[in-house]
Structure 1
Amino acid sequence: MSTTITLYPLSNYPFASKDQQLEEDPSVVARLQRLEHDYEQYGMRRTVEGIMLVHEHGHPHVLLTQVGSAFFKLPGDYLKPHESDEQGLKARMHLRLGPDPPGDAADGEMKVEEDGAGADEWEVSDVIGQFWRPNFESFMYPYKPAHITKPKEVKTWHLIQLPETRILTVPKNQKIVALPLFELYDNAIRYGPQLSSLPALLSRVNFVYAS
């Protein structure tokens, strides 16, 4: 059974700016080291990311966060042990692209609001894909390898149904780019194996183009 999602024009989503958000880890090596440390305490890490789609020139575009000149990713992050996928993703979408809380310190530190204020404005839809990290290494698979009994991380992609219009508030050290699906398709050299697989995963989705 296919999923139906409504796409609105890119022009319906103006961007605003907010305080920068620094990455917790300065490098891939540091991130994997922290993953290993957290795994010893909490077990397998669960990561959630949101897929926001718009249309431009009659074609679906996915909204990606760009960090630096060549690093693109979907908005999201890892969950706390007690969080559900849906509520955790809502909180992280609000953290990444919602306005700064009033009186928030401009120290660049990312903090997920415990009360979830503003998070419920995000509409989380179907799961589109999952990727598994079998070891403390950078590569992830779109399936759980049969010989791996204790994967170290699972990343889940959810569709986000955007409202008809919304202001997306972007950290000063990042920007949002809208990439057409044909740019991502079969382009692992530039965008990596996960993002380049997104057009194929979205092939089961029925897009409704709203004006």
Structure 2
Amino acid sequence: MALPVDNNHSSESSDRNHVLDIYPLSCYYFGSKEALPFKDETLSDRLHRFKSNYAAHGMRTCVEAVILVELFKHPHLLLLQVRNSVFKLPGGRLRPGESEVDCLKRKLSSKLSEGSVLEWEVGECLGMWWRPDFVTLMYPYLPPNVKKPKECTKLFLVKLPESRKFIVPRNFKLLAVPLCQIHENHKTYGPIISGVPQLLSKFSFNIIES
């Protein structure tokens, strides 16, 4: 005999899973360290390097972190700004044989700490973006006619502890940007970052006072 499903209990459990605790920006400390070197290359050089890496290792996989703090009673997303113009989510490319979570922890430690691998609470994958060919355009889905995509970028939710010290390279800026400013602002932040607020729509935010 089939047992009745307790829909109320299931709904309450799901609601609890989708509550995201965030701490005020004032809980965190910030410092700087030596600049990270940039590759000064033309678009043609970058495309050539991309194709060479694909020929050697296959599809490139990148992982990026969605990290939230509270400021003025509103959730803010932590972004890295490069050369005062380009905004990026913290993260980077996997090494051959490296897991996605290990890569993200390594990248967060190298870009947001003094270099030692800190404990980072990497949560669920929020979304994936695909690059079908050697072009700049990426899609939030894999077109069914694309059998050999060239790149996949995965966004993971990363939950911060109550306090942490961020150490950022001098040629980067770490910014806390309100979600309402990012939402659908493709021109400033690009399609991946501007789509983050929609990916977070299933969560309710619980602001924990310091």
Query: Do they fold alike, i.e. is TM over 0.5?
Result: yes
In structure 1, distance between residues paired with 2:43 and 2:167:
26
Aligned positions, number: 194
Contact 1:28 1:138 in 2 (8 A): no
**Residue 62 of structure 1 is aligned with which of 77, 91, 103?**
77
Q: Deviations over 1:142-174 (max 9, x none)?
A: 000111000000000001110101010000111
In structure 2, distance between residues paired with 1:29 and 1:79:
23
In structure 2, distance between residues paired with 1:42 and 1:202:
32
Task: Classify 1:141/1:25 alpha carbon distance in 2 versus 1 (closer, same or farther; 3 Å).
Answer: farther
Q: Secondary structure at the match of 1:69?
A: coil
**Residue 127 of structure 1 is aligned with which of 101, 106, 125?**
125
Matches within 5 A, 1:61-210: 61-100=76-115, 118-210=116-208
Q: Secondary structure at the match of 1:190?
A: helix
Q: Secondary structure at the match of 2:114?
A: coil
Q: Deviations over 1:96-153 (max 9, x none)?
A: 11104xxxxxxxxxxxxxxxxx435111011111100000111110000111000000
Contact 1:45 1:153 in 2 (8 A): yes
TM-score, L = length of structure 1: 0.87
Task: Classify 1:27/1:156 alpha carbon distance in 2 versus 1 (closer, same or farther; 3 Å).
Answer: farther
In structure 2, distance between residues paired with 1:24 and 1:84:
25
Residue 7 (structure 1) aligns with: 22
TM-score, L = length of structure 2: 0.88
Q: RMSD of the alignment, in Å? A: 1.4
Task: Classify 1:7/1:42 alpha carbon distance in 2 versus 1 (closer, same or farther; 3 Å).
Answer: same
Structure 1 unaligned segments of length 5 or more: list them: 101-117
Counterpart amino acid of residue 188 in structure 1: H
Task: Classify 1:156/1:27 alpha carbon distance in 2 versus 1 (closer, same or farther; 3 Å).
Answer: farther
Task: Classify 1:153/1:201 alpha carbon distance in 2 versus 1 (closer, same or farther; 3 Å).
Answer: same
Residue 14 of structure 1 deviates from its aligned partner by: 1.6
Q: In percent, how many aligned pairs have the same letter?
A: 41
